[in-house]
Amino acid sequence: MMSMATRSAVTLLCCLTGTAPAKGLDGYRDYASVVKVDPIIEGRHQYATRTTCEDARWASAENTAIASSIGRDIRRQRSRWSSPPSCGSIEEQDFQKRILGYWVTYRYQGHTQTKRLSYDPGDRLPVSIRLTPLQ
């Protein structure tokens, strides 16, 4: 339970900042200005193996001159896979990125703080303000 002095201080602070105290809390909520947001990025390489096949006879036919007739082209298309293709494996590398969180720098009443958050808060960040009397 809040003492009378603490309650008075919260009320005074709320009047000065233009915010209303949140019910049931020993303080109130307000918004801080976001100064900077830096994404925390994890990057990793993904490796994948894929098989490729090529017909040696077709590959050499591609290097020759263009066929002189349409019929000849059709015959070549039919014979394309008549011999077994030569196959090989290729290992490919892919780099993937994902965002793990954000380092958020925010300012509230002249005080600057940095905190890791799971989301990008935008231009302002809701903050909870609690007052503790000095002894």
Residue range 50-73, pLDDT digits in tens: 888 776 555 444 445 444 455 566
Q: Is residue 12 part of a domain?
A: no
* CA-wise closest residue to 100 among 47, 45, 44: 44
pLDDT digits (tens, 9 = 90+) for 2-13: 454 455 454 545
Q: Is residue 102 part of a domain?
A: no
- Output the six-digit token pair for 99: 């965002």
Greater confidence (82 vs 121) lies with 121
CA distances from 11 to 21, 88, 92, 110, 125 (A): 8, 76, 64, 20, 22
Q: Is residue 116 part of a domain?
A: no
Q: How many residues does the chain have?
A: 135
Domain limits for position 89: 45-94
pTM over 0.85: no
Question: Count of domains in the chain?
Answer: 1
* Lowest mean per-residue pLDDT among 10-19, 27-36, 66-75, 123-132: 10-19
Answer for the pair 37, 104: CB distance below 8 angstroms, yes or no. yes
Q: Is residue 50 part of a domain?
A: yes
Residue 60: what pLDDT?
Answer: 47
pLDDT digits (tens, 9 = 90+) for 35-50: 999 999 998 888 888 8
**In whole angstroms, what is the distance from residue 85 CA to residue 54 CA?**
5
Residue found under tokens 């503790």: 132
Q: Is residue 51 part of a domain?
A: yes
Answer for the pair 127, 29: CB distance below 8 angstroms, yes or no. yes
- Output the six-digit token pair for 68: 């002189």
Residue 94: what pLDDT?
Answer: 82
